[in-house]
Chains A and B, each alone.
Chain A
């Protein structure tokens, strides 16, 4: 019997041992704990594009300008001030002399240039934002071909260590907003060097041997330092071929390399923001501590910040209720609407800088996978308008999303950008919709093929919206549609490859300007998945880009925006609402359309 009893005891000991081995739990409580929108995808500036990544980046890094903790407008940060040339094309930024990296090094103009250059040499999703800079595109293209133009011809020069001159193709009135956006933040090259991987591995390992003989370690040298050694290295090479290759590298100032993304993880990561990332436990937590080298450290109110990783809606909410976290940065609509019904005062909702809409394929022919690629009825503007006007969007916001979202008739969310007014779009009008459809030759939907409504299957709200649309179009217009939910990766491929007829999509603006919305539908845009081509629209956008006067520019863009809203390549459904749960004792977080958080200004005032 004793032997039998030893089994359970032994098993329990095994469990405890395994538990211990799996890592101990919460060690200490941070001044401020929050749950982000999701887990961090990446903290590499080149690759990031998700809101949760940006949010953390604002805490640990800083650009020339940064969002103000109260107004969220760009204010001097890494730069003390800037000068603008009369034509609005040359910007000279004077860097703050006391700006320091977390390892104590000063932040210099070269760090900005190094970071921006990475976007040309290893293009990322936001590389296109740099195309405003003179010769940036030319450098990117020529680098990809292996024959880069001289980097000094690109419109970014370090006049001295603390002066950065940026030369643009056009007057960009919102440049300060751009430089306050994380892709424009500086990086610290020397701390990334241990994670560098060269493309020309053989040559570089020879170079490494050569440098070792001269008591230099390639693993600690920056690209510039290695380049300086190349002539000596080439001279002692025996193979003429290798010599030519090294000389070419020297001539172009190009040693092809990439960095393993681990450089963004503590303890290696070096940052310049108000907080340092000191701990990152995969899928568990990220720990931030107030930086002792940050120039404005006296303004930083929190000593420690913890981001807890929790991707489950229910258990997130339970953690908030239990007081484990002080802030849920993103509450899904489903839960938010129920909390709203209960009048929870700690539920914060505000207009978002984003719109949910459905997009129509506007090509003359349907993609081959739909109705055998026959004539596309959606290419007819009247059909698109009829479909748009037959949707009772109020039903969707009242029964599906239920967060008091504003019904959308426009693509750009009104009231989110000071100084920009949007003209109203198409109304909900069934008789007019029916008339338009009949005029287009499809009375009561007769003759229209049943088109699929595409959406990504893991999104429950879109699933319901698709079902509502199907019912409404059938009821109001007699139009048959088919619901097609696809696994998210395949859905995205279909949309970006323009292999769909109707799809549920959304767009959030990146930086506070109209162009972050309108640029999507330029006929040359990669993001123009409706394949809507309108010469007048393109002309207006181009005019706006060249316009140096901010007010005039917005007036032009207003006309461009109105074109989208009346020609309806897309049907705006509703404007998003940002929902979060925040305890009252958390101060310094204001609701704002882009959902920015400036941790510098956040404080916790518990009684």
Chain B
């Protein structure tokens, strides 16, 4: 286990490097460029800007930026937000996305696992049927619709003053966007938990436990849940990476200064340095969380051998 962990950790920089180059190529060949504005600019003006951002040619870009990242951890200036470096932007917006993401994931896991378990226990009951339908509705509407509806709801006269709209900083500000953000993972977790809980409930050890005279709730919440949680865990790896790095839609609708908006805005503006910066953050999160999930597997169920699992 420690050896495989070390091996995976050593692999990490390599994968990140490959992702960096892949992203760069994708962004570089895409039509449109970061320096065109609303009006036509003199070629000299454009060339001046290119030189300033060391983006005169792919070679110039690749000889400067990776070196700067490796030696100084500096991703360079953003080409769209001219006074801010990519590091500044990440530093200011990542904590916001993480705060929101942690809240959303917490709700998603708590409600998702709870409802999923209950749905499995009271299988085919009203609870099962309705929980599944409601959770499915959560993912059957585009997130921009649910988010905007929640925002409008918060502005209803009876709610006035309770939720601040379009601001960030107070604990209350997390609630609505967090809720909007949690819908999709919650729906997924409900379904995953329900399915795996049904499997576990049918297994021999549950029958034995019940035969020993343990109460139903103890069996479900103490013994089954731990086992039923494994598939949820493997989903949580990528889900955490996606949720913690922010959502474009939720941030846009609720006006939250998080990282998610930059995934879209940087691409639409061909802000090459910023794209590479946010992609690196996302990929790092994804890789680390997948690694953590593998470690967690072993903690939840020591029989699992992560070295047997492909990356």
Query: Do any CB atoms of chain A lie under 8 A from CB atoms of chain B in the complex?
Result: yes
Residues of A within 8 A of B80 (CB): 41
CB distance from B296 to the nearest CB of A (A): 14
Q: Which A residues are CB-close (under 8 A) to B257?
A: 281-284, 309
| Least distance between B28 CB and chain A CB atoms (Å) | 14
B59 at the interface (CB under 8 A from A): no
Residues on B with C-beta less than 8 A from A281 are 92, 257
**A459: interface (CB < 8 Å):** no
A561 within 8 A of B: no
Which residues from chain A contact B82 at a C-beta distance below 8 Å? 41-42, 44, 47, 261
Q: Report A21 CB to chain B, min CB distance, Å.
A: 5
Give complex CA distance A90, B284 in Å: 61
Chain A residues with CB under 8 A of B95 = 18, 21-23
Are B169 and A526 within 8 A (Cβ)?
Answer: no
Given that A125-B41, A526-B40 are contacting pairs, would A315 and B81 also be in contact in the complex, using a CB cutoff of 8 Å? no
Residue of A260, A315, A321 ringed by the most chain B CB atoms within 10 A = A315
Contacts of B272 in A (CB 8 A): none
Binds A, one of B1-9, B97-105, B133-141, B235-243: B97-105
Q: B36 contacts which chain A residues (CB < 8 A)?
A: 489, 492-493, 496
Q: Are B221 and A4 in contact (CB under 8 A)?
A: yes
**A7 CA / B44 CA spacing, docked (Å):** 60
Q: Are B83 and A262 in contact (CB under 8 A)?
A: yes
Minimal beta-carbon separation of B67 from chain A (angstroms):
14
CB distance from B171 to the nearest CB of A (A): 6
For A264, the chain B residues whose CB sits under 8 A away are: 83
The B-contacting residues of A in range 543-585, CB under 8 angstroms, are none
Chain B residues with Cβ below 8 Å from A23 are 92, 95-96, 168-169
Q: Smallest Cβ distance from B225 to chain A, in angstroms?
A: 9
In the complex, residue of chain B having the shortest beta-carbon distance to the beta carbon of A318 = B165
- Stretch binding the partner chain, chosen from B184-192, B248-256, B300-308: B248-256
Do residues A123 and B48 form an inter-chain contact, with CB atoms below 8 A? Answer: yes
In the assembled complex, B106 has its CB within 8 A of some CB on chain A? yes
Q: Which residues of A contact B31 (CB under 8 A)?
A: 489-490, 493
Tell me which of B88, B92, B174, B221 contacts A19 (CB under 8 A).
B174
Q: Which residue of A lies closest to B225 (CB)?
A: A4
A24 is an interface residue with CB less than 8 A from chain B: yes
Residue A235 lies at the interface, judged by CB distance under 8 Å to chain B = no
- CB of A229 closer than 8 Å to a CB of B: no
Q: Which residues, 69 to 122 on B, are CB-close (under 8 Å) to A? A: 77, 80-85, 88-89, 92-93, 95-96, 98-99, 102-103, 106, 109-110
> How many angstroms between the C-alpha atoms of A244 and B207 in the bound complex?
91
Nearest Cβ on chain A to B285's Cβ, whole angstroms: 14
Chain B residues with CB under 8 Å of A8's CB are 106, 110
B146 part of interface (Cβ distance < 8 Å)? no
A15 to B148, alpha carbons, bound, how many Å?
Answer: 23
Interchain nearest-CB distance for A598 vs B (Å)? 24
Q: Of A21, A125, A488, which contacts B45 at CB under 8 A?
A: A125
Known: A487-B268, A489-B268, A527-B40. A25 touches B168 (CB 8 A): yes
In this assembly, does A590 line the interface, its C-beta being within 8 Å of a C-beta of chain B? Answer: no
Once the chains bind, are A11 and B270 in contact (CB under 8 Å)? no
Whether the pair B270, A489 counts as a contact (CB closer than 8 A) is yes
Shortest C-beta distance, B271 to chain A (Å), equals 11
In the complex formed, the residue of A with least CB distance to B221 is A4
- Complex Cα distance A11/B165, Å? 24
Q: Report whether A127 and B45 are in contact in the complex, using a CB–CB cutoff of 8 Å.
A: yes
The answer to whether the Cβ of A324 comes within 8 Å of any Cβ in the partner chain is yes
A227 CB to nearest chain B CB (Å): 22
Contact A526 B42 (CB under 8 A): yes
A310 to B252, CA, bound (A): 9
Residue in B85, B106, B166 whose beta carbon sits within 8 Å of that of A312 in the complex: B166
B213 within 8 A of A: no
Given contacts A123-B44, A123-B45, contact A282 B92 (CB under 8 A): yes
Which residues of A are found within 8 Å of B32, using beta-carbon distances?
487, 489-490, 493
A21-B99, A25-B173 in contact; A315/B84 too (CB < 8 A)? no
Contact yes or no, B102 A14, CB < 8 A? yes
Taking A15-B103, A284-B168 as contacts, is the C-beta distance between A124 and B45 under 8 angstroms?
yes
Interface-centre pick from B99, B103, B110, B254 (highest chain A CB count, 10 A): B99
In the complex the two chains form, is A19's CB within 8 Å of B164's CB?
no
CB-defined contacts of A21 to chain B, threshold 8 Å: 95, 98-99
Q: Which residues of B contact A315 (CB under 8 A)?
A: 151, 165-166, 253-255
A25 touches B169 (CB 8 A): yes
What residues of chain B lie closer than 8 Å to A206, measured between beta carbons?
A: none
Cα separation A240 to B31 with both chains bound (whole Å): 46
Q: Which of A127-164 contact B (CB under 8 A)?
A: 127-128, 140, 144
User: Which of chain A's residues 253-267 have a Cβ closer than 8 Å to chain B?
Assistant: 258, 260-262, 264-265
A261 vs B168: C-alpha distance when bound (angstroms): 27
Name the contact of A49 in the complex, choosing from B38, B44, B48 (C-beta under 8 A): B38
Interface string of A250-294 (1 = CB under 8 A from B): 000000001011101100000000000000011110000000000
Does A2 make an interface contact (CB < 8 A)? no
Chain A residues with Cβ under 8 A from B151's Cβ? Answer: 314-315, 318
- A residues 15-74 with Cβ under 8 Å of B? 15-16, 18-19, 21-26, 41-44, 47, 49-50
Interface residues in B252-280 by Cβ distance below 8 A to A read 252-255, 257, 261, 268-270
A247 to B215, alpha carbons, bound, how many Å? 92
Q: Does B309 sit within 8 A of A, measured CB to CB?
A: no
Task: Tell me whether A15 and B102 are in contact in the complex, defined as CB-CB below 8 angstroms, given that A324-B167, A489-B33 are known contacts.
Answer: yes
CB contacts (< 8 Å) of A98 on chain B: these are none
Q: How far is the CB of B47 from chain A (nearest CB, A)?
A: 9
- B170 at the A interface (CB under 8 A): yes
**Cβ-neighbour of B155 out of A44, A318, A490, A527 (below 8 A):** A318
Chain B residue at minimal CB-CB distance from A3: B222
- B167: chain A residues at CB < 8 Å are 25-26, 308, 319, 324
Cβ contacts B37-61/A at 8 Å (1 or 0 each): 1111110110010001000000000
Please tell me if B63 contacts chain A, counting CB pairs below 8 Å: no
Contacts of B48 in A (CB 8 A): 122-124
CB closest chain-B residue, reference A280: B83
Is B203 interfacial (CB-CB < 8 Å)? Answer: no
Residue of B nearest to A123 (CB): B45
Q: Answer whether residue B22 sits at the interface, using C-beta atoms and an 8 A cutoff.
A: no
B68 within 8 A of partner (CB)? no
Interface assignment of A316: CB less than 8 Å from any CB of chain B: yes
Q: Which of B45, B92, B171, B269 contacts A489 (CB 8 A)?
A: B269
Decide if A49 touches B37 in the complex (CB within 8 Å). Answer: yes
Does A242 make an interface contact (CB < 8 A)?
no
Q: A123-B44, A314-B253, A526-B42 are in contact. Are A324 and B37 (CB under 8 A)?
A: no
Check: A535 CB closer than 8 A to any chain B CB.
no
Given contacts A14-B102, A18-B99, is CB(A260)–CB(B77) below 8 Å? yes
Q: Is A529 interfacial (CB 8 A cutoff)?
A: yes
> Is the CB of A311 closer than 8 A to any CB of chain B?
yes
By the criterion CB–CB under 8 Å, are A22 and B99 in contact?
yes
Q: A342 → chain B, closest Cβ, in Å? A: 16
Contacts of B109 in A (CB 8 A): 11
The residue that A44 contacts in the complex, of B37, B83, B255, with Cβ under 8 A, is: B83
Does A319 lie within 8 Å of B165, measured CB to CB?
yes
* Contact across chains for B160 and A22 when beta carbons are under 8 A apart: no
Per the bound structure, the CA–CA distance linking A73 and B54 in Å amounts to 41
Interface string of A313-347 (1 = CB under 8 A from B): 01110110110100000000000000000000000
Q: Of A4, A8, A284, A309, which is in contact with the most chain B CB atoms at under 10 Å from its CB?
A: A284
Q: Which B residues lie within 8 Å of A144 (CB)?
A: 44
Q: In the complex, what distance in Å separates the CA atom of A562 from the CA atom of B138?
A: 58
Instruction: Give the residues from 471 to 506 in chain A that come closer than 8 angstroms, CB to CB, to chain B.
Output: 487-490, 492-493, 496
Instruction: Jot down 6 A-B pairs with beta carbons below 8 A, ordered by A.
Output: A42-B82, A283-B93, A283-B261, A310-B166, A312-B166, A489-B270
Q: Which 7 A-B pairs have the closest CB atoms?
A: A25-B169, A489-B32, A315-B166, A18-B99, A22-B95, A283-B257, A496-B40
| Known contacts A122-B52, A283-B261, then 8 further A-B pairs from the complex at CB < 8 Å, ordered by chain A residue | A8-B110, A11-B102, A23-B95, A42-B83, A144-B44, A283-B257, A488-B268, A492-B36
